[in-house]
Chains A and B, each alone.
Chain A
């Protein structure tokens, strides 16, 4: 149980375009999901906390207009990288927690974004 999927697994796009990444909890409902980014050989950096039915909470230094997060249902959160630039190229990972065991995170497999 507690499987989280992400789609797409990898995407290449042109500079200036927008890219949407989906995060789904497959066998549980997730009131809270988290979005991380990870640069090569670096640790995960939390970008934002996504709450179902409400606005996301962004970490300091993360542009909310650049990284749009929508959590429309208990099983789906999306991250849209708007007007992508090469410096947005990264590994984006989502995670979800279950109900009253919210400390434990279940991570998606990640999405590798390359902006040309």
Chain B
């Protein structure tokens, strides 16, 4: 898996968009970008993933740069319940889910 780099922490005001960056400059052509989050003392939760195109689901949007060296997870209207550690992972589509988790970004949503 390509190494990913994320800022250790970020704050966001409730109701605002939270934009979480991730660098994956050594990503290979067949590695997906995955985002998970972990709320305190719970198991991680899948958020979204993408390969080349931008993706959107009911939880978030994923913007991947054209050169695929970085991406941004966007939570459009952050709530207090979005406070969590967010992990960005680059993984081969043949790796059967074997993910290497870095330290992630601790997002704190403030009232």
Chain A residues engaging chain B, CB cutoff 8 angstroms? 4, 6, 32, 34, 36, 43-46, 49, 91, 93, 95, 97, 102-110, 112
What is the interface of chain B, defined by CB distance below 8 A to chain A? Answer: 32, 34, 36, 38, 41-46, 49, 87, 91-93, 95-104
Residue of B nearest to A36 (CB): B101
Choose among B87, B91, B96, B98 the residue that contacts A43 (Cβ–Cβ < 8 A).
Answer: B87
Q: How far is the CA of A110 from the CA of B99 in the complex (A)?
A: 17
Query: Once the chains are docked, how many angstroms separate the CA of A105 from the CA of B91?
Result: 11
Known: A43-B87, A43-B102, A43-B103. A103 touches B97 (CB 8 A): yes
> Contact check: which of B32, B44, B95, B102 meets A93 at CB < 8 Å?
B44
For B93, the chain A residues whose CB sits under 8 A away are: 103
Cβ A49 vs Cβ B43 within 8 A: no
Taking A36-B101, A46-B99, A103-B95 as given, write out 4 further A-B residue pairs in contact, using a Cβ cutoff of 8 Å, ordered by the A residue number.
Answer: A4-B43, A93-B43, A104-B97, A110-B41
Residues of A within 8 A of B44 (CB): 44, 93, 95, 105, 107
Q: How far is the CA of A103 from the CA of B99 in the complex (A)?
A: 8
B53 CB → nearest A CB, Å: 16
Q: Contacts A43-B104, A103-B91, A103-B93; is A49 near B45 (CB within 8 Å)?
A: no
What are 7 A-B interface contacts by the 8 Å CB criterion? A6-B43, A44-B101, A93-B43, A93-B44, A103-B32, A103-B97, A104-B46
